[in-house]
Amino acid sequence: MSVTTYCVGGAVRDRLLGLAVKDHDWVVVGSTPEAMVAQGFQPVGKDFPVFLHPVTHEEYALARTERKTARGYKGFAVYAAPDVTLEQDLLRRDFTVNAIAEDAKGNLIDPHGGINDLRAGILRHVSSAFNEDPVRILRAARFAARFGFSIAPETLILMRDMVSNGEVDALVPERVWQELARGLMEANPSRFFTTLRSCGALGTIMPEVDALFGVPQVAQYHPEIDCGLHTLLVVDDAAQHGYPLEVRFAALTHDLGKATTPADILPRHIGHELRSVCLVKTLSERLRATGECRDLALLAARYHGDIHRALELRSDTIIKLFQSTDAWRRPARFAQLLQACASDARGRHGCEHDLYPQADYLLQLLSVARAVNAGEIARLCQDSGTIPAAVQQARISAIENLVKKRGCE
């Protein structure tokens, strides 16, 4: 039996879309693990027969079939042998647009109509086996956010069935976080969440976010949209400005406390900003979010209201804000906090191009306050116990002087 290698998946899809191809994935038909190793390929797949090319280090996988054996994305029995055909391998893939192969001569093999779906901008499942892997719901949401594709009606039905039959409950936190992080980094992350909502998965995976939909915004903040729609505008603004993942996660979670939460979880008298902090902690822990994402999201949840009011705050209150956010030691993170707040301010219809003067204002105040020579002040203090108050007063004076100067310009 001859051995044939095909380029498959994202590389073929992206080339047909006219996009830059970053990585290539290859399927090898007619070979064995022993033959691959003999040619210098390095085995890397624990659950699947996947190998790294000895020179390019790209992934080469033996053609395989899969059979569902248990819940979750790992509950599969894999069969990989020389008699598995390319068509059988393509049949196990998620979407038709990812089930196109290309041979060494550039010929396309498209048994499931993926090229037509690419042209139409549709994500359609390859076979009914789609509903055996809950990660595919997250991938559908991520591809919708990346390409702006719609979900085929029959695929959406399968996705809803996976939610209703509990298959989504088998998703492990690490995989959810991986797909969420990638979805947030796409061009239109709002589509990631609207896709999950359309099949009912958002309420299972991120109930804190799902609960925002239908909750009205306060009157002065464009009451024609609810908190959920506002949140989608905020994450899209963060994406349009090229902000990093930490800022986008903070944008997603900054208003969680505005949703209705059972009183046995959070007492009703707690303000929405503190409620947001509690819910961000819960969500971050459950999804195993990175520490950087969690910490910035906590700061945005707690202090975005204060930062919005920065131009009205007294100098001593601004100093407290810098202290509470650890801006002295983490000025770069404070700048990211301001980015999240700017997206929050712009995340309303008609405000997309508004300036956010609070950011430049606070960064200038932080700069002059950090320039205060604490060591020199300490040297001049006869009583070491007075050093903290003296440093703080010097910082307040530096801020007040800058504010006066700005007022005179």
Relative to beta strand 25-29, strand 59-62 is: parallel
Query: Which token pair is 165?
Result: 């039959």
User: Would you state the pLDDT for residue 328?
Assistant: 93
CA distances from residue 294 to 99, 166, 256, 291 in whole angstroms, order as listed: 36, 28, 14, 5
Contacts of 225 (CB under 8 A, 6+ apart): 217, 233, 348, 349
Per DSSP, the three-state class of 99 is coil
Place of tokens 């589509």: 191
CB 29 within 8 A of CB 86: yes
Report the distance separating Cα 111 and Cα 305, nearest Å.
54
Please report, to the nearest 10 degrees, the dihedral formed by the alpha carbons of residues 154, 170, 64, 61 taken in order: 110
Report the chain's mean pLDDT, rounded to a whole number: 89
Q: Which residues sit opposite 26 in a β-bridge?
A: 7, 60
332 C-beta neighbours (distance < 10 Å), count = 8
For the chain, 409 residues long, give each residue's pLDDT as a single digit of tens. 688 999 999 999 999 999 999 889 999 999 999 999 999 999 997 777 899 999 999 999 999 887 755 555 555 577 888 889 999 999 999 999 999 999 999 999 999 999 999 999 999 999 988 988 999 999 999 999 999 999 999 999 999 999 999 999 989 999 999 999 999 999 999 999 999 999 999 999 999 999 999 988 764 455 567 899 999 999 999 999 999 999 999 999 999 998 866 554 555 556 778 889 999 999 999 999 999 999 999 999 999 999 999 999 999 999 999 999 999 999 999 999 999 999 999 998 777 678 899 999 999 999 999 988 877 887 778 677 778 888 888 889 889 888 887 765 5
CA distances from residue 391 to 394, 399, 404 in whole angstroms, order as listed: 5, 12, 20
Query: Which token pair is 146?
Result: 């990346």
The pTM for the full model equals 0.89
Q: Which residues sit opposite 15 in a β-bridge?
A: none
Structural domains of the chain, ranges and CATH numbers in brackets: 1-120 (3.30.460.10), 121-205 (1.10.110.30), 207-311+325-354 (1.10.3210.10), 371-408 (no CATH)
DSSP letter at 315 equals H
CB 256 within 8 A of CB 209: yes
CA 128, chain centre distance (Å) = 28
Report the distance separating Cα 90 and Cα 74, nearest Å.
19
Give the model confidence (pLDDT) of 21-42 as tens digits.
988 999 999 999 999 999 999 9
DSSP letter at 259 equals S
Report the distance separating Cα 257 and Cα 297, nearest Å.
13
End-to-end CA distance of the chain: 82
Contacts of 278 (CB under 8 A, 6+ apart): 257, 266, 270
Place of tokens 């919005």: 308
CB 61 within 8 A of CB 25: yes
Q: CA torsion sign, 45 to 49 to 54 to 58?
A: negative
Q: 263 exposed, middle or buried (CB, 10 Å; 0-12, 13-18, 19+)? A: exposed
Report the distance separating Cα 257 and Cα 263, nearest Å.
12
Place of tokens 């001569």: 105
CB 240 within 8 A of CB 343: no
Per DSSP, the three-state class of 26 is strand
3-state helix, strand, coil in the chain (%, to 5): 55, 10, 35
